[in-house]
Amino acid sequence: MDSDLTVAVFGAYGHTGRFVVAQLRDRGFVPVLSGRDPAKLEKAASESGLEARPASVDDPASLDRALAGAAAVINCAGPFAATAAPVIEAALRAGIPYVDVAAEIEANVDTFTNFAERARATGAVIVPAMAFYGGLGDLLATAAMGDWTAADEAHVAYGLSGWHPTAGTRASGVVSGERRGGRRVRYANGRLEYRDDKAPTLEWPFPDPMGPRAVIGEFTMADVITIPSHLSIPDVRTYMTVEAARDLSDPDTPAPAPVDEHGRSAQTFLVDVVVRSGGAQRRAVARGRDIYAITAPLAVEAVDRILTGRTRTVGVASAGEIFDALGFLHALAPHLALELRR
């Protein structure tokens, strides 16, 4: 096995993890499957013919064995409040890059807060939230900014046809809700603000063919951590179509169901990112299918660029800071339609 092509996937048997494993194989990498449930892991290994290495976040030695000989690790196992720090520590011990797909706001704050200084000092690469939420919005905002060095505000509007959340999404949401004491959060005036009032409902002017739609304002996602981590924008707001937010809050909404040979659901998405400075406005729009499936090419493209030296910094860095945002987005062309309006 070529260690330069071996990538450990923690949480490999989960919904997103399976997409990541398939994408790694399509890109010529050799995934090593890891995770906390030996039975699920063995089943995934048997079906794929890949190596399985069970590991527990409470057992550092097992994580070291899981990452042994790997060139990088992708953490797909939530809640990331429990998994991110132990897997990052294992990656630092192994001297390999770490990428995760965390959408949990608090978990991403922890990663930047607790590992930035050490990772920078050692030249390590840690990329959190390299997923539909957090990574994609950051890349779009960075691409939209272009030659601007600062902006007054950034808006990330999610137009989802619906949202059938996975069990992992629900579990992560519970943990995040508990950590913030049931309050909602927004990013304004250059900081996170925790609030007890109800999020507003408003209309967002999505581009055609979707057009104006009712959205939940300040439906805050990981973009409020990734974007201001490197862009000088004091106000970052995210929005979600009302129907998708309703699906997420309904405990009876079923998990996503595959409808094609790749295992993708029928869900479609439009991500509309607007940055404003003074009276000027710039926009980046991405369209695609299945928010969980699109996370796989995002994470795998990140690993490929890290391992081939196509990065701009070291330490803990979001997608827009460490990668050439526009080049990265164009590389996703088979999976994503991109439009820039500057």
Per-residue pLDDT tens digits for 97-133: 999 999 999 999 999 999 999 999 999 999 999 999 9
| Cut 0.85: pTM above it | yes
Q: What is the mean pLDDT of the chain?
A: 97
User: Which pLDDT belongs to residue 302?
Assistant: 98
Torsions phi, psi for 249 (to 5 deg) = -80, -20
Per-residue pLDDT at 4: 81
Sign of the dihedral defined by the CA atoms of residues 99, 102, 105, 107, in that order: negative
Mean pLDDT of 306-328: 98
Angle at the Cα of 135 from the Cα atoms of 131 and 141, rounded to 5 degrees: 145
Give Cα 235 to chain centroid, integer Å: 20
pLDDT of 2 strictly over 60: no
Residue 41, both tokens: 């892991």
Q: What is the mean pLDDT of residues 30-57?
A: 97
3-state secondary structure 52-83: EEECCCCCHHHHHHHHCCCCEEEECCCCHHHH
> What pLDDT digit, counting tens, does each position of 220-268 carry?
999 999 999 999 999 999 999 999 999 999 999 999 999 999 999 999 9
- Given this model, what pLDDT does residue 1 score? 43
Q: 108 by DSSP, 3-state: which?
A: helix
